[in-house]
Amino acid sequence: MDKIKIAIQKSGRLNEDSLRILKDCGISIDNGKDQLKAQARNFPMEVLYLRNGDIPQYLRDGVVDIAIIGENVLIEKGTDIQFMEKLGFSKCRVSLAIPKSTSYSGINDLDGKRIATSYPNTVNRYLEERGVSAELHIINGSVEIAPNIGLADAICDIVSSGSTLFKNNLKEAEIMLKSEAVLAVSPKIDQEKSEILEKLRFRINSVLQARQSKYVLMNVPNDRLEDILKLLPGMRSPTVLPLAEAGWSSVHTVIKQDTFWEVIDGLKLAGAEGILVCPIEKMVL
């Protein structure tokens, strides 16, 4: 059977998160130190460890079939490359930043200014759409130092926590776009590998659904059961089981992570007790 070739960033957080989701999908990778290529033991997959910025070209040429890559890299270097899934990790934003001492009232303040960046295509598109003209200095590496040494008036870079900007006496002025890891696909992928990709996507979606949900069990007095059930956004309907103690039931349901605390607060007010929250390993819908 043919193997699907997947590109993953050589090092860094995206590398770690990519390998973690493959592991959670039940795929075991034979990793060796400093390897540039590895095999999966239990899935038809070969992993290539590549520089993030080179991955769009490898996809374009069909050297790899799929890749886990930052959406920001596709926007910069691979607008012709399609992605099939947003993966929910390695989230960041691509922002324009200026020295803390510089006042800022809007994007027009950067007209005629010098901007240091390793994302020239993204910056150019953003500025052109807003009728702003700036001089770009393309830097591969740490751009945060550019204003401090007089090379630029502003920078464009990826921002996660903002701590790097803070350390370099910079402040975020414009959030140009928000990004996260995505599963990108080569336009040259063949039918057999597309079938393997669908199996992988099924596993990934099961993992992502589980990561976004919590399994919740609670004890509910029967006279409050109807009110409690109205609060629960379960997958279909909650499971209700009688407890040994008369007049009480055990209610089991799944709650989405993004509404979890609001729902829990409502359940407590409605009379739920002994609320137990469990992580979900996989969720197959």
C-alpha torsion sign, points 218, 221, 225, 228: negative
Q: Rounded to whole angstroms, how far apart are CA atoms 60 and 81?
A: 7
Residue with tokens 């401090």: 148
Strand order of the β-sheet with 154-159 is: 135-138, 114-117, 154-159, 92-99, 170-179
- 142 neighbors 112 (Cβ within 8 angstroms): no
- 110 neighbors 132 (Cβ within 8 angstroms): yes
Q: Rounded to whole angstroms, how far apart are CA atoms 139 and 117?
A: 6
Q: Rounded to whole angstroms, how far apart are CA atoms 261 and 264?
A: 5
pTM: 0.85
Amino acid at the residue 3: K
The domain limits of the chain are 4-89+180-210, 92-179, 213-279
Q: Rounded to whole angstroms, how far apart are CA atoms 262 and 270?
A: 12
Class of domain 4-89+180-210: alpha beta
Q: What share of the chain is helix, strand, coil (3-state, %, to 5)?
A: 35, 35, 35
- Local confidence pLDDT in tens for the 285 residues of the chain: 689 999 999 988 899 999 999 999 999 998 766 788 999 999 999 999 999 889 999 999 999 999 999 999 999 998 899 999 999 999 999 999 999 999 999 999 999 999 999 999 999 999 999 999 999 999 887 899 999 888 999 999 999 888 889 999 999 999 999 999 999 999 999 999 999 999 999 999 999 999 999 999 999 999 999 999 988 875 567 899 999 999 999 999 999 888 899 999 999 999 999 999 998 988 887
| Paired tokens of 174 | 């414009």
pLDDT of amino acid 257: 87
pLDDT of amino acid 35: 80
- Domain 92-179: assigned CATH number: 3.40.190.10
- 24 neighbors 87 (Cβ within 8 angstroms): no
Same CATH fold assignment for domains 4-89+180-210 and 92-179: yes
Amino acid at the residue 145: I
Q: Which residues contact 34 (CB under 8 A, 6 or more apart)?
A: none
Class of domain 213-279: alpha beta
